[in-house]
Amino acid sequence: MKDFAAIDFETANFERTSVCAVGVVIVKNGEMVDSFYSLIHPEPDYYNWRCSSVNGLCREDTEDAPIFPDVWKQIEPKIAGLPLVAHNKAFDENCLKAVFRMYGMDYPDYPFYCTLIASRRVWPGGHHNLDIIAARCGYDLKNHHHALADAEACAAIALEIL
């Protein structure tokens, strides 16, 4: 796969609608050509300890951030016509569908590919965490659970194994 958009969401709590950050990396002709990162005002607007301990974000970080539809207006033209790729697509695709539903937006049924599933086929057994698989693909993920860093790692993995 040479043309795609790698995407990663972070959430404020265990509700899939609570996206609080998004990272997107655009890949064309096998090269990372563009990226996008934004904080998002989550809905529902509360943070639980577990999510904050993973992604380092808290209410103060997103208090004045735009809501999802405003952020998506910036992302949509960048990903037009591209399939989406995520590491553990079940999470990211469910988040995307949940916020689309919550805001009454028409979901365009993006084709979605998963580097986690692909990595399990390529390297059966062992751990398949994003940082581990990224390292196997030659990408040093230094800021794990930052949405843009994770999207970059996912793009690097996709370029190697999809």
- Reading the chain (162 residues) residue by residue, the pLDDT tens digits are 899 999 999 999 999 999 999 999 999 999 999 999 999 999 999 999 999 999 999 999 999 999 999 999 999 999 999 999 999 999 999 999 999 999 999 999 999 999 999 999 999 999 999 999 999 999 999 999 999 999 999 999 999 999
Rounded to whole angstroms, the Cα distance separating 44 from 12 reads 8
Domains of the chain in sequence order: 4-161 (3.30.420.10)
Question: What Rg do the C-alpha atoms of the chain give, in angstroms?
Answer: 15
Rounded to whole angstroms, the Cα distance separating 70 from 106 reads 14
pLDDT at 43: 97
Rounded to whole angstroms, the Cα distance separating 115 from 109 reads 19
DSSP class of residue 66 equals P
DSSP class of residue 73 equals H
Place of tokens 């970080």: 61
CA-wise closest residue to 3 among 34, 40, 44: 34
pLDDT at 3: 98
pLDDT at 119: 97
